[in-house]
Chain A
């Protein structure tokens, strides 16, 4: 089985964020990490490979040229090869452009099972998996908290308000996973050494046969208008003195269902 994990390079969640004048996130190489949600997709890809002998895992990423380091981080966890789609014309791509590019790359490299994290920690759009499925005309099993492959069929569990839904689709299929699906492994020391020797191909837009006018900032139909820091100041209530303070604390705890 040809497994492809789509992963994004995002700034570390603790990194200080800044934006360009046209509201693009300034990406600094030293802050770059694999999107934390994608770690679950990577882990799931590796687990499916272990369960389905003979499978290969490819890490596919669209990003700046330096994103090869981020792909290597994923390859240190495991997998066989990396593919980076990078092109100066891609800067400023919106979710639909990104999906267009990923779909073209998937078509070029081939796939039976494509796994995504369900969103990226920088923009939280969460539409790329479904858009890629649309471009490819393939089924998407979204928000999977469990994934099983039997024969040429993929089956997932999707958490619902009461219990869960079981959804299946024929392969080739796309799956987006939620955090409860697994516990991502740490890259091992040997994995880090091995990652350097794994093949990592770089594709440009021309390699994928895409017209630069259909992607990047020029083609973006989404436009970020502003970004503001979320205030993290917590508002506490302080009860002072003997005048019923204990009763109010107890009432609060009862209200919170602590007592």
Chain B
């Protein structure tokens, strides 16, 4: 639509009358959300402020996952919230993203728990499971009564999952699993593992229940990142699984990669929550911390940092939101997920570092959320496709040339 000169003039005249937008929503991204979406966001935000923030620092320091929050998270309906039926709420992708964003405002470990349960454990059962598998597992998983994990990465197969060495040999109406899975979030306390293994006919997914003979887990200790999250190894030594536990409707790497796409989507939103936590903390600090007789927020160097942080956060939020809108129309391509995951993790990590520098020495303590987020984000930057791998995915998409191998 072409506007007329008088209309333009009216808008110019009104320019000075536009109220100053809020520092935490400088681009009025709020106005791009529906009422439902805002309600989901505000609900999770309130939950995180009330239940998570008071305890998360202690858990991070102790290296424990706040399992006591699982019933409340389930009660809120956050587990598998973007799936439909089977006890799941059936909300859209943007709502799921907003929930991830608010959970990660609390801690990346908490968001990881919800991502793994919803996108990596429930999603493959939902998308590729038999009707019996769906009926049996999904309602219990949505209710938080059964916790799942996702076994794809191995000690010698990280960025290249096709190099996996875990095998599934068919023997009558069972499969015998052998191999080791590594860096498995929730692994140590999960009731079931969705495990990907090489069978005769290609890579297949299996639901393995805790307690199955030959299946053991051991937790990774001495982590300096995602400390409020359980990270484990899964061991399979002649572990016999009923053939009925195989996910019947997918074969090949497409299965696990489609799950990763779901989880990466949640990460692209989630890290914006961590970045916002760092931004808000640094902004608040800059206005109250006095040096050379004035708040440090009044110094140009600090303002440069805050302006960069605020701008990058807006860009990251818009990337995530457009990705969500595409996803809700069924139009999101995996390369778009890579763009958002890569950019938003990068920017969140940069934001955490810049924000930490505004807080000076105070920034390194658990009194403030920044260093906790910064350490967490090192993992988030790496898991679900490293920054490098997403770079190559984008590179291949725009040049048509494969630089992987």
Residue numbers of A with Cβ under 8 A of B are 30, 69, 72-73, 76, 186-193, 196
Whose C-beta in chain A lies nearest to the C-beta of B30?
A30
Please state if B95 and A189 are interface contacts (CB–CB under 8 Å).
Answer: yes
Please state if A189 and B47 are interface contacts (CB–CB under 8 Å).
Answer: no
Q: List the 4 closest A-B pairs by CB distance, nearest first.
A: A189-B77, A189-B89, A188-B77, A190-B89
Please name 24 pairs of A and B residues whose Cβ atoms are closer than 8 Å in the assembled complex, sorted by A.
A30-B30, A69-B35, A76-B43, A186-B43, A186-B46, A186-B75, A186-B76, A187-B39, A187-B43, A188-B77, A188-B89, A189-B76, A189-B77, A189-B78, A189-B89, A189-B91, A189-B99, A190-B89, A192-B36, A192-B39, A192-B43, A193-B89, A193-B91, A196-B36
Please state if A188 and B75 are interface contacts (CB–CB under 8 Å).
Answer: yes
Residues of B with C-beta under 8 A to A189: 40, 43, 76-78, 81, 89, 91, 95, 99
Chain B interface size, as a band, is 10 to 19
Please state if B77 and A190 are interface contacts (CB–CB under 8 Å).
Answer: yes
Interface centre among A72, A187, A189 (most CB of B within 10 A): A189
How far, in angstroms, from A73 to B36 measured CA to CA in the complex?
9
- Known: A187-B43, A188-B77, A188-B89; 19 extra A-B contacts, CB below 8 A, are A72-B39, A73-B39, A76-B39, A76-B43, A186-B46, A187-B39, A188-B76, A189-B43, A189-B77, A189-B78, A189-B89, A189-B91, A190-B89, A191-B77, A192-B36, A192-B40, A193-B89, A193-B91, A196-B36
State how many angstroms separate the Cβ of A43 from the closest Cβ of chain B. Answer: 14
Q: Is B90 an interface residue (CB 8 A)?
A: yes
Interface centre among B39, B46, B78 (most CB of A within 10 A): B39
State how many angstroms separate the Cβ of B60 from the closest Cβ of chain A. Answer: 23
How far, in angstroms, from A243 to B167 measured CA to CA in the complex?
78
Residues of B with C-beta under 8 A to A69: 35
Residues of B with C-beta under 8 A to A191: 77
Whose C-beta in chain B lies nearest to the C-beta of A196?
B36
Residues of A with C-beta under 8 A to B99: 189
Q: Are A72 and B35 CB-contacts (below 8 A) given A188-B77, A189-B81, A192-B89?
A: yes
Residues of A with C-beta under 8 A to B95: 189
How far, in angstroms, from A159 to B99 measured CA to CA in the complex?
39
How far, in angstroms, from A196 to B46 measured CA to CA in the complex?
21
Whose C-beta in chain A lies nearest to the C-beta of B74?
A188
Residues of A with C-beta under 8 A to B46: 186
The binding surface of chain A is classed by DSSP as helix
Please state if B75 and A192 are interface contacts (CB–CB under 8 Å).
Answer: no
Please state if B91 and A192 are interface contacts (CB–CB under 8 Å).
Answer: yes
How far, in angstroms, from A179 to B43 measured CA to CA in the complex?
19
Whose C-beta in chain A lies nearest to the C-beta of B36?
A192
How far, in angstroms, from A193 to B40 measured CA to CA in the complex?
10
How far, in angstroms, from A72 to B30 measured CA to CA in the complex?
18
Whose C-beta in chain B lies nearest to the C-beta of A29?
B35
Contact of A193 among B35, B43, B75, B90 (CB under 8 A): B90
Residues of B with C-beta under 8 A to A73: 39
Residues of B with C-beta under 8 A to A186: 43, 46-47, 75-76
Whose C-beta in chain B lies nearest to the C-beta of A69?
B35
State how many angstroms separate the Cβ of B82 from the closest Cβ of chain A. Answer: 9
Residues of A with C-beta under 8 A to B75: 186, 188
Residues of A with C-beta under 8 A to B39: 72-73, 76, 187, 192
Whose C-beta in chain A lies nearest to the C-beta of B79?
A189
Residues of B with C-beta under 8 A to A192: 36, 39-40, 43, 89, 91
Residues of B with C-beta under 8 A to A76: 39, 43
Residues of A with C-beta under 8 A to B30: 30
How far, in angstroms, from A197 to B77 measured CA to CA in the complex?
18
State how many angstroms separate the Cβ of A76 from the closest Cβ of chain B. Answer: 6
Whose C-beta in chain A lies nearest to the C-beta of B91?
A189
Whose C-beta in chain B lies nearest to the C-beta of A30?
B30
The 8 A CB mask of B5-32 against A (1 = contact, 0 = none) is 0000000000000000000000000100
How far, in angstroms, from A192 to B98 measured CA to CA in the complex?
14
Residues of A with C-beta under 8 A to B90: 193
Residues of B with C-beta under 8 A to A72: 35, 39
Residues of B with C-beta under 8 A to A188: 75-77, 89
How far, in angstroms, from A130 to B77 measured CA to CA in the complex?
38
Residues of A with C-beta under 8 A to B76: 186, 188-189
Which chain B residues (38-91) contact chain A, with CB distance < 8 Å? 39-40, 43, 46-47, 75-78, 81, 89-91
How far, in angstroms, from A69 to B46 measured CA to CA in the complex?
18
How far, in angstroms, from A60 to B99 measured CA to CA in the complex?
29
How far, in angstroms, from A69 to B43 measured CA to CA in the complex?
14
State how many angstroms separate the Cβ of B126 from the closest Cβ of chain A. Answer: 16
How far, in angstroms, from A186 to B78 measured CA to CA in the complex?
12
State how many angstroms separate the Cβ of A64 from the closest Cβ of chain B. Answer: 15
How far, in angstroms, from A73 to B35 measured CA to CA in the complex?
9
How far, in angstroms, from A73 to B41 measured CA to CA in the complex?
12
Residues of A with C-beta under 8 A to B47: 186
State how many angstroms separate the Cβ of A109 from the closest Cβ of chain B. Answer: 24
Residues of A with C-beta under 8 A to B78: 189
How far, in angstroms, from A187 to B76 measured CA to CA in the complex?
7
How far, in angstroms, from A192 to B35 measured CA to CA in the complex?
10
State how many angstroms separate the Cβ of B190 from the closest Cβ of chain A. Answer: 22
